[in-house]
Amino acid sequence: MEIVKVEGLRKSYAAKEVLKGIDFCAEAGDIIGVIGKNGAGKSTFLEILLTLRSYRHGTVHLFGQELNEASEKQRGQIRQQLSAVLQPTQFYRTLKVIELLKLFKVYYKSPLDVEKIMADFKLDDHRKTYFDKLSGGWKQIVSLAIAFLAAPKMLILDEPTTGLDPHMRNMLWTYITDYNKRTGGTVILTTHNMDEVELYCDRVMLLNDGVAEVFDTTGRILESGYKSIHDFYITQVAK
Ligand X SMILES: Nc1ncnc2c1ncn2[C@@H]1O[C@H](COP(=O)(O)OP(=O)(O)OP(=O)(O)O)[C@@H](O)[C@H]1O
What residue ranges bind ligand X (CB under 6 A)? 13, 18, 36, 38-44
Nearer to Mg ion, 43 or 51 (CB): 43
Compute CA distances 114 → 117, 159, 174, whole Å. 5, 24, 19
Nearer to ligand X, 37 or 96 (CB): 37
Count other C-beta atoms under 10 Å from residue 119's C-beta: 11
Closest distance to Mg ion from the beta carbon of 39 (Å): 8
Contact 222, 199 (CB under 8 A): no
Q: CB under 5 to 8 A by kind: which of ligand X, Mg ion, none does 40 bind?
A: ligand X
The string of DSSP codes covering 80-95 is: TTEEEE-SS----TTS
Contact 140, 169 (CB under 8 A): no
Nearer to Mg ion, 43 or 193 (CB): 43
Closest distance to Mg ion from the beta carbon of 65 (Å): 26
Report if residue 43 touches Mg ion, rule: CB under 5 A.
yes
C-alpha Rg value of the chain to the nearest Å: 18
Nearer to ligand X, 207 or 221 (CB): 207
Contact 10, 56 (CB under 8 A): yes
Q: CB under 5 to 8 A by kind: which of Mg ion, ligand X, none does 18 bind?
A: ligand X
Closest distance to ligand X from the beta carbon of 70 (Å): 22
Interacting residues toward Mg ion by CB under 5 A: 42-43
